[in-house]
Amino acid sequence: MTKTLTVSALALAVAAPAFAQSRDNVQVAGSSTVLPYASIVAEAFGENFDFPTPVVESGGSSAGLKRFCEGVGENSIDIANASRAIREGEIETCAANGVEEIIEVRIGYDGIVFASQIDGPEFTAFEPSDWYSALAAEIPQDGEMVANPNQTWADVNGDLPSVDIAAFIPGTKHGTREVFEENVLLQGCEDTGAMEAMMEMGMSEDDAEAACMAVRTDGASVDIDGDYTETLARIDSNPDGIGVFGLAFYENNTDTLKVATMGGVEPSTETIASGEYPVSRPLFFYIKKAHIGVIPGLKEYASFFVSDEIAGPGGPLANYGLVPDPELAATQSKIENEETMGAGS
């Protein structure tokens, strides 16, 4: 009997979400798009609160969420930054590893822009169809799928420069890639009639969508697995290159980059806030609720991040390029009440 009780007690101890605190700093990882905002907040937090400055790392949304979902305890991160919403499969992985209560925090909005060397070719106006036609791995032609024959931007659209296609796009581990695929490649595929042609060839809608978002691998498009500084370096070394950036990064590098319109709309905080600019997305971070009250300063850091003076209009995040969330008060309340995902449904 004693042995059975001991084993049961041990099992309960292992299953319990609580853990002993043995580190005193908040640990954050994830999206390279959210990284500069989180770094600004972490530095200000360290200067204004009696807690150590949080440690903020990059790595991409998917990598950050993977680390976040590894489990509960001092050896796992407290917050994952993401430039996309957490996926259902990630929520399931989290739950399987004991991370069952997650607080989703939307910090604001950002746009995805298309920028090139300031004195390079005249890349000033794009449509989603241009990017689909330039980067698709295969396109429908005469009732069959063929390898993309387009070699220059002028092959795609006669109004674009006659230079080789050299696109530097976010790698698949970045949340920005998902938005780029859906809002640009898939949209362009639909706009050109390619998706309809694929389905007329017998493809299912899912297969056609996958084909629309499949990117060529012949060197015309290069996946960037690092952050935007790597994309910028590639463009610095290739005058004909064009890269996919977050609006905030572009706005902080206007001395070397010029931006193109998309769908006739110039990217700005105003056009993103209004929804006029077609390639924008919300930015998030995710809090491990089990770590609140255990890791010193975690809730305070999260509340500080979305406070009016930090994330609101005129604050340091807006000054860097974040488009403030008009529903910031609801987000503040969510953190204060420690409201987890699915709690209200």
Tens digits of per-residue pLDDT, 34-74? 999 999 999 999 999 999 999 999 988 999 999 999 999 99
* Mean pLDDT taken over the chain: 91
pLDDT above 60 (res 261): yes
Q: For a pLDDT cut of 70, what percent of the chain falls above it?
A: 93
pLDDT above 70 (res 13): no
Which superfamily does CATH assign the domain made up of 23-109+282-336 to?
Answer: Periplasmic binding protein-like II (3.40.190.10)
Equal CATH topology for 23-109+282-336 and 111-280 = yes
Q: For a pLDDT cut of 90, what percent of the chain falls above it?
A: 79
For residue 274, give the nearest of 32, 123, 120, 111 by alpha carbon. 111
Q: What is the mean pLDDT of residues 185-213?
A: 96
Determine if residue 275 is left, alpha or beta; phi over 0 gives left, psi from -120 to 50 gives alpha, anything else beta: left
pLDDT above 70 (res 2): no
Which superfamily does CATH assign the domain made up of 111-280 to?
Answer: Periplasmic binding protein-like II (3.40.190.10)
Please give the biggest Cα pair distance in the chain. 83
Domain boundaries defined on the chain: 23-109+282-336, 111-280
Residues 6+ apart with CB under 8 A from 134: 150, 153, 156, 165, 167, 220, 221
What b/e sequence results for 254-286 when a residue is b if at least 16 CB atoms lie within 10 Å of its CB, and e otherwise? Answer: eeebebbbbbeeebbbebbbeeebbbbbbbbbb
Banded pLDDT at 5 (limits 50, 70, 90): very low
Report yes or no: 195 and 209 within 8 Å, Cβ to Cβ: yes
Report the distance separating Cα 176 and Cα 174, nearest Å. Answer: 5
For residue 251, give the nearest of 36, 7, 20 by alpha carbon. 36
Banded pLDDT at 226 (limits 50, 70, 90): confident
Report the distance separating Cα 209 and Cα 277, nearest Å. Answer: 23
